[in-house]
Amino acid sequence: MTKFSFCLLFAVALAAAAPPKINIPIEKYKLDNGLRVILSEDNTLPVVAVYVVYDVGSRAEEKGRTGFAHLFEHMMFEGSANVKKGEHMRFVQSNGGNLNGSTHPDYTNYFESLPSNKLAVGLWLESDRMRSLAITAENLANQKEAVKQERRLSFDNQPYATAIVDKWPEMVFKNWQSSHSLIGSFEDLNSATIEDVSKFFKTYYAPNNAVLTVVGDIKIADAKKLIQTYFGDIPSQPQPKHPDLTEPASVSPSSDTYKDPLAKVPGVVIGYPGPERGSDDYYALVVLDALLTGGDSSRLQLNLVKGKKSVIQYQGDLGWPFAAADDYRDPGQYATFFIYNPSFQANQIVDQYQDEIAKIQKEGISDTEIRRAVTLLLTAKLNELQTTLGRARLLAGFELLDGKPQIINSLLDRYAAVTPAQVQAVAKKYLSPDRRTTLAIQPEPAAKANPPATQGGF
């Protein structure tokens, strides 16, 4: 469906107070080696997305091996049996495409967007590194340094980042699998050996631990033949055991302060344990987040940014800071990060935020307000669904996390079905002070070195 048709359909649906109906075609099957394959044909534009997701993220790491998931995101671009170092990117870009990869708490993903007549290029590249990644001492040493440099530039030398990446997970999770840093430690990276890395690759980067999604201008029969040719003979491995992510049943409030020498203005993170993925509460809480944080008419924007002028900016989501609602997997948090006016105190921002929640808990919300929030969600989802890569990402995520890629076709209905009463109920159930964790991030100028001693007088 063209973009114009999507937008027209959406406008008609809004006028009728019903979500637009979508019917994305899905062909799901599994190769003999266990690789799960999702195909979705859309011949509107001559483009195709190849999206591979591996069921391993930072929460699957072992003690003493933190940062391995992120390290492998880098290692996967270091070459393979038939692709030299640096050639993966060159092959994609020289064929008119783009590519990337990213590490999450629960998975690692890689993708190529290409002209549809170059589908074989994307499949060949992904299959070659799945079967024969170049794990050499030189590549490992190079990528250890690349990961450490990325941490220095993107986290250790950025305001708020260390508090969010390292301190926050330790506060909100009791289980080490979830509480350790997604980026990992220098000590663990330095101690990683070729044997360690080879074992990690063999365990988690096997076809039976992956989902391949191909979306766009394809012919199903032809795509299946190519996938069988490139992936069919990659050997499977024993299925890795998923870690126990269980958190204690009891939840108690907690708070702490992090002194940040890089921060110029103070911040505070406020979070609450979230619901089960895919439950009615899950969808209602996503709508509640849109009501609180979405757009210029959101409650936080109107009441804290423009009204009290206490908050400068904010961001929040179910799964924040490493995930969003679509790839949230419980146990997880609903959290919001505020940068605020230095004339206020952190506890005042926490109280003001909790007051906004309390209004919803006591008074509920109007039909007009929930329509605005749902409209924002539907608009964002429709924009994503218009792209082949957006559809590939959602299909792969629903398969990996839920085993049901068809959720993509009911997603809009689930959001549109949320009622004001459900939003009020989840506000009461989940966002209460006795379940709240807060982390205040306070600017602290770096200590100045003592000036060198002078000799003599004037």
CA 419, distance to chain mean position in Å, is 27
Residue 83 per-residue DSSP state: B
pLDDT band at 73 (very low <50, low <70, confident <90, very high): very high
Compute the average pLDDT of residues 325-329: 96
Compute the average pLDDT of residues 216-235: 98
pLDDT band at 423 (very low <50, low <70, confident <90, very high): very high
Q: Per-residue pLDDT tens for 230-261?
A: 999 999 999 999 899 999 989 999 999 999 99
Which alpha helices (H) appear in 155-279, and where do they start and end?
161-162, 168-172, 176-179, 186-191, 194-204, 220-231
Position 445 scores a pLDDT of: 79
- Pairing outcome for strands 47-54 and 210-216: antiparallel
Position 450 scores a pLDDT of: 52
- Pairing outcome for strands 333-340 and 267-273: antiparallel
This prediction has a pTM of 0.92
Nearest to 42 by CA among 408, 406, 388: 388
pLDDT band at 453 (very low <50, low <70, confident <90, very high): very low
The answer to whether 445 and 261 have CB atoms below 8 angstroms apart is: yes
DSSP 113-152: EEEGGGHHHHHHHHHHHHHHB---HHHHHHHHHHHHHHHI
Show contacts of 13-18: CB within 8 Å, 24+ apart: 14/375, 17/371, 18/416
Whole-angstrom distance, CA of residue 24 vs CA of residue 213: 13
Position 458 scores a pLDDT of: 23
Position 2 scores a pLDDT of: 33
HEC string for 364-415 = CCCHHHHHHHHHHHHHHHHHHHCCHHHHHHHHHHHHHHHCCHHHHHCHHHHH
Position 133 scores a pLDDT of: 97
Position 448 scores a pLDDT of: 58
Q: Per-residue pLDDT tens for 147-185?
A: 888 888 888 899 999 999 999 999 999 999 999 998 888
Query: Domains along the chain?
Result: 21-231 (3.30.830.10), 254-443 (3.30.830.10)
Residue 455 pLDDT exceeds 50: no
Residue 107 pLDDT exceeds 70: yes
Averaged pLDDT score across all residues of the chain: 92
pLDDT band at 447 (very low <50, low <70, confident <90, very high): low
Whole-angstrom distance, CA of residue 213 vs CA of residue 234: 17
Residue 18 makes CB contacts below 8 A (sequence gap 6+) with 416
Residue 457 pLDDT exceeds 70: no
pLDDT band at 28 (very low <50, low <70, confident <90, very high): very high
Q: Per-residue pLDDT tens for 38-68?
A: 999 999 999 999 999 999 999 999 999 999 9
Residue 345 pLDDT exceeds 50: yes
The answer to whether 6 and 391 have CB atoms below 8 angstroms apart is: no
Q: What backbone phi and psi angles, to 5 degrees, belong to 49?
A: -115, 130
Residue 74 pLDDT exceeds 50: yes
Compute the average pLDDT of residues 74-79: 94
Residue 16 pLDDT exceeds 50: no
Q: Which residues share a beta bridge with 27?
A: 39
